[in-house]
Amino acid sequence: MEKSSKEEESSDEDGGNLEDGEVELTSGYRGRTTHTSGEHLGQRSGPEPTGGDSCEGHTEKDSSCDPSILQSPCSSPHSSSILPPSSSSSSSSALCLTPPLPPEVELSAILTDTSLTLDVYLGGAAVVPLLWDSNPERLKKLQYLRLGSEDQTGLDSSLDVLQHLTALRSLAIRGHCFHDSRGDPLPGLVTNLPASFSSLSNLVHLDLSFNQLSFLPPSLLQLRSLSSLLLCHNHLSHLPPDVGRLSSLRFLSLLGNKLVSLPSSMGQIQALESLDVSYNNLQELPDEIGSLEQLVKLELSHNKLTQLPESMGFLRSLRELIIYSNDLRLIPPCVNNLPHLKIDARDNPLGKPPTPPPLPVAPDQTKKRIPELHLRFNQHSFCVSLAGCHVFIPGGAELVFPPGCLMKNTRLKWAWRKPERKWVCLEEHDVLLSRPLELCPHGVTFIKPVEVCVPYHRARKGSEVVVRTFDRQSWSTLCTERRKGSDSHSRRRTARLACCSVSHFSWFIVVSRPARDSCSVTAAGALLVSSCDPGIKLTFPPDSTVQTRSITLQVLQVSVQDVRDLCGDPEARVSPLLCLTQNPSLHFLEQVKVQIPLPSGVTGHTVDLSCLHLFHGDPAAQTWADVTSQVSLCVTHLYAVFYVTHFSWYWLWYTTQRCVSGVVRKVYQKLKQFRVRFLVLQRKTDPSQVLLQCLPDTLVDNRVQSLSQKYDGPQPSDLCDLLEGEQFFAGFERGLDVTTDRPDCIEGRLCFVFYSAMNNLKEVYICAAQGHKGSVRGQVSFYRGDVPAEFPEEVSRRRKGPDKQWLTTLPLRLPARNSENTFIIEENQYPPLNLGDPETGYLTEANLLSISLQIGHDWRVIGIHLGLSYAELDRIQYKNRDNLEALVLDMLFLWAQRRGGPGGVARLVAAMIESGRTDVAEEIQDIVDIGKRKYCESLRKVGLEAESSAHRETQQEATPTLSTDS
């Protein structure tokens, strides 16, 4: 009891500092203190006890506040007491509850005739057994009880008493009512309820939130009058099958548990009006949930639901459905048809197709030890054994044959093909990113899938990369995974690979196309949202189709400036171009709602509807029709909405001029044309190697600048107009021949096929015609090929000149051959140079040449110590990447020309010492000493040694001496 007395004394001291109208509440022996206005805590309103009513001079032994005994009115003025209306009442007695209640708080602040609130005091649950021992009859009349569940001892004692409080109508035993010293909430400790809990037959409201229930206590199912049950933030992983016995429930909250399913008996709770099972792990709902005819609000957010049961269409009373943050791709039409229903479906992949299964993981070569086979350019066949093989094809392609993919050892073949029409199948706005790779024999069947990886060029931003193959009847698109190639197969840089798993061999190409969004539409309807622009949506109403259809949506962004330049209207604006396809291609039974953003700079408040036009494109006929008057075009603030019954291309235009279909057709065709220029460049280190390239006009300058360090050549050609898929040729004329051993050489010319990627890059070796020994001047001519048969007649008619029209002719020069029939390459010439001065010694050009032979691969470190920048060293390395001697000389002469003058030799010696090349520094010092000795001898001969001695000493001090430790 010594502890209680000390706490009372501490309370007396603290209480004297309180302001009027405040009572300090101290959480008993736990040491927690809060200040709260007295009117909220039921502070005493009667007169304060006088001195005669207090027990002065009492001792701890005879007047201690034992929680288990009743005290007389003669108690401490700060102790808890039940005070009668008048101080003379003798029928009321006071109970001291310090602890577990703070000494400043009266019992009347927490206890009334029908309610007892103990969840505002830490450890307050221990009050219940004390009150039961002192006045059980009064406690039996309680109807509302609130307990904290953070104290295990007090909680267990309270649960034992609860069976006697049969008049209870509302009971709350919650955790997280209090916090520890670090500010973390204290968890509730309820893990079960005693069997005697079923005696609370009048209980209507029960709150057991923030506890540790892992199952629903059986005694709770006996409470047939229960209408509100809160079990939030427990550890429930399942509900009992007979949970339907709680037939009077109107409100049930299971938020924040671990439920993976709901029992079918939930449908028996016919009175349920609000159900909250959010923040669980539910993957599906029982069909019986449709029996809850009185349900008004259903919260299912933050689960793992993939579909909603059709039975939810019977929930006619449902007003609010919260299903955000799930994996729902379709909302059943029966749910959409519910009257007065408000749905929150955020963060769901609505309208998107199911996520395809991941590609098989490439075999781990280190674990399975699949042998590697690196082929050469002249090796066009290889053998695969039963153990499998990882084949590296020249050009960057890789083939992975897993063990057991073949029944016997098999010889296979490969070949790179030219991008001709018979090898390539492209759709509208597709871009070819690779050469066709042919793998033979065609049709060979593998027991296990074989991984084919084709290298490709960089794709446009916002597009997707896929591999296409030919199955002898049609081209098909394969499930593609992009990754980097093996480092062991890359000589310069790691290749980009498009990988797919195949079961047979054929032709393979890599194509870039506008990103595709697809979904399956059933009779129930669907919603498809573009991944490129969330503002583009397709809404398929119920009964719009009988059979299931596959829908594909592509969005092509169009530059507004290009449209303005082509149509001549400075006010023209366009929306993205929509490409809609379906399979099967049949008209929809109900109109499909299409939402598309308004053209940039146009809003619903400022738009002039007379200038807004919707165009329908026919890709087969290459025509565009104005269908604005044929559809119901609605404009919101940001979007335009219209309804269609069949799919094709749709394009929204805003223009102040008279807009006709011919203008749109002209613009669309122009967008598929490219203004290009041609380059012919010779490699400086090997003039017989020539680079041929076709580039867009906007990229020519940057490309020429980047190649200037490696290549020389004439100016680029003039502008030329080319269409996607158009062929052109490069031929060598006037005595120049293309090496005949190249597989892409046909009758002395190289063939290109132009695609919008513009990666038409060829490096070929050329030589003078046989018999020519001197320098040869010639030219490279570019000219068009035949017009592809698939091109529209009107496009072909617009071309000027014959089909074999010359595009450009660029001159080319080869150096002369020497006696060994090799090209004579001019040596690098350096100007005469004297570094230093006669008094301190000097280095000549011959000296630097001899020194450069000893520097070798340390040239970069020495250059840094000489003060050259990293950029200068990189340029030197790039220019002389194949010639180490020229590289070192360039570095030395660049520094010498910049430094020059007195002191240069000392700086060079110091740089050699700092770079760890003391041997070179010693040789330089020897050359300098010889020069100084010769200079002194010449002075002595002419009698000038005395007057220059002081100057020589000064210069000698400036020259660094070599240390043997270096």
pLDDT tens digits, residue range 827-856?
444 445 556 555 545 666 667 777 777 787
How far, in Å, CA of 688 to CA of 767, rounded? Answer: 6
Q: What is the pLDDT of residue 258?
A: 92
Which contacts (CB < 8 Å, 24+ apart) does range 484-489 have?
485/396, 485/398, 485/453, 485/455, 486/392, 486/398, 488/372, 488/392, 489/374, 489/392, 489/396, 489/398
Residues 6+ apart with CB under 8 A from 21: 37, 38, 39
In this predicted structure, the answer to whether residue 331 has a pLDDT above a threshold of 80 is yes
How far, in Å, CA of 961 to CA of 365, rounded? Answer: 57
Could you tell me which residues are beta bridge partners of residue 693?
679, 761
Give the mean pLDDT of 188-203.
89
Check if the beta carbon of residue 438 is closer than 8 Å to that of residue 424: no
Which of 415, 466, 420, 468 minimizes the C-alpha distance to 437?
415
- pLDDT level of residue 794 (50, 70, 90 thresholds): very low
CA distances from residue 697 to 181, 326, 630, 702 in whole angstroms, order as listed: 70, 49, 41, 10
pLDDT tens digits, residue range 489-508?
554 456 789 999 988 888 89
Q: Which two tokens stand for residue 434?
A: 């690779």
Q: Which two tokens stand for residue 708?
A: 């200037």
Angle (CA) 747 752 753, round 5°? 135
CA distances from residue 696 to 693, 700, 731, 754, 806 in whole angstroms, order as listed: 10, 7, 21, 11, 18
669 in helix, strand or coil? helix
398 in helix, strand or coil? strand
Q: Which two tokens stand for residue 537?
A: 């949506």
Whether 646 is catalytic is: yes
Residue 159's φ and ψ, nearest 5 degrees, are -65, -30
pLDDT tens digits, residue range 87-145?
333 333 456 666 677 766 677 778 888 888 888 778 888 888 888 888 888 888 888 99
Which stretch of DSSP H or E encloses residue 927? helix 918-942
**Better pLDDT: 481 or 95:** 481
Torsion over CA: 734, 739, 742, 747 (sign):
positive
Give the mean pLDDT of 293-308.
92
Residue 760's φ and ψ, nearest 5 degrees, are -90, 85
Q: Which two tokens stand for residue 795?
A: 């496009």
In this predicted structure, the answer to whether residue 657 has a pLDDT above a threshold of 80 is no
Q: What is the pLDDT of residue 366?
A: 40
Q: What is the pLDDT of residue 272?
A: 93
Active-site position among 214, 518, 531, 648: 648
In this predicted structure, the answer to whether residue 798 has a pLDDT above a threshold of 50 is no
Most confidently modeled range among 117-126, 239-248, 877-886: 239-248
Provide the mean pLDDT of the chain. 75
Check if the beta carbon of residue 103 is closer than 8 Å to that of residue 129: no
Q: What is the CA radius of gyration of the chain?
A: 45
β-pairing, 70-71 vs 94-95, is: antiparallel
- pLDDT level of residue 870 (50, 70, 90 thresholds): confident
pTM of the complete model: 0.41
- ω before 403 within 30° of 0 (cis)? no
Number of H helices, E strands in the chain: 18, 52
β-pairing, 144-148 vs 115-117, is: parallel
How far, in Å, CA of 468 to CA of 511, rounded? Answer: 7
Active-site position among 58, 374, 587, 646: 646
Give the mean pLDDT of 666-682.
80
Whether 587 is catalytic is: no
Which of 113, 108, 171 minimizes the C-alpha distance to 140?
113
pLDDT tens digits, residue range 622-633?
778 888 888 888
**Better pLDDT: 572 or 234:** 234
Active-site position among 504, 520, 661, 772: 504
pLDDT tens digits, residue range 385-397?
888 899 998 888 8
839 in helix, strand or coil? coil
How far, in Å, CA of 342 to CA of 298, rounded? Answer: 11
Q: What is the pLDDT of residue 231?
A: 93
In this predicted structure, the answer to whether residue 357 has a pLDDT above a threshold of 50 is yes
How far, in Å, CA of 940 to CA of 631, rounded? Answer: 109
In this predicted structure, the answer to whether residue 526 has a pLDDT above a threshold of 70 is yes
In this predicted structure, the answer to whether residue 182 has a pLDDT above a threshold of 80 is no
Give the mean pLDDT of 624-644.
86
In this predicted structure, the answer to whether residue 250 has a pLDDT above a threshold of 90 is yes
Whether 225 is catalytic is: no
Following CA atoms 708, 712, 717, 723 in sequence, which dihedral angle do they give, to the nearest 10 degrees? -70
CA distances from residue 762 to 491, 686, 691, 692, 697 in whole angstroms, order as listed: 18, 15, 6, 5, 18
Check if the beta carbon of residue 606 is closer than 8 Å to that of residue 638: no
Check if the beta carbon of residue 888 is closer than 8 Å to that of residue 855: yes
Whether 463 is catalytic is: no
For residue 356, the 8-state DSSP code is P
578 in helix, strand or coil? strand
Q: Which two tokens stand for residue 416?
A: 């790179």
Which of 265, 306, 252, 261 minimizes the C-alpha distance to 280?
261
Q: What is the pLDDT of residue 20?
A: 36
Residue 168 class from Cβ within 10 Å (0-12 exposed, 13-18 middle, 19+ buried)? buried
pLDDT tens digits, residue range 603-623?
888 888 888 888 888 866 677
Residue 68 class from Cβ within 10 Å (0-12 exposed, 13-18 middle, 19+ buried)? exposed
Q: Which two tokens stand for residue 79?
A: 């102790």
Which of 331, 741, 685 minimizes the C-alpha distance to 539?
331
* Alpha helix positions (H), 519-609: 560-567
Q: What is the pLDDT of residue 38?
A: 34
Please report, rounded to a whole number, the percentage of residues in the chain having pLDDT higher than 70.
Answer: 72
CA atoms within 13 A of residue 528's CA, in its CB half-sphere: 26
Which of 236, 151, 139 minimizes the C-alpha distance to 189?
151
Rounded to the nearest 10 degrees, what angle do helices 661-671 and 560-567 cross at? 120
In this predicted structure, the answer to whether residue 277 has a pLDDT above a threshold of 90 is yes
**Better pLDDT: 63 or 708:** 708
Residue 729's φ and ψ, nearest 5 degrees, are -125, 155
**Better pLDDT: 68 or 433:** 433
Other C-beta atoms lying within 10 Å of the C-beta of residue 84: 15
**Better pLDDT: 264 or 559:** 264
Place of tokens 């002081």: 950
**Better pLDDT: 373 or 470:** 373
Other C-beta atoms lying within 10 Å of the C-beta of residue 114: 14
Give the mean pLDDT of 433-456.
87
Q: What is the pLDDT of residue 947?
A: 45
DSSP sequence for 279-315: SS------GGGGG-TT--EEE--SS------GGGGG-
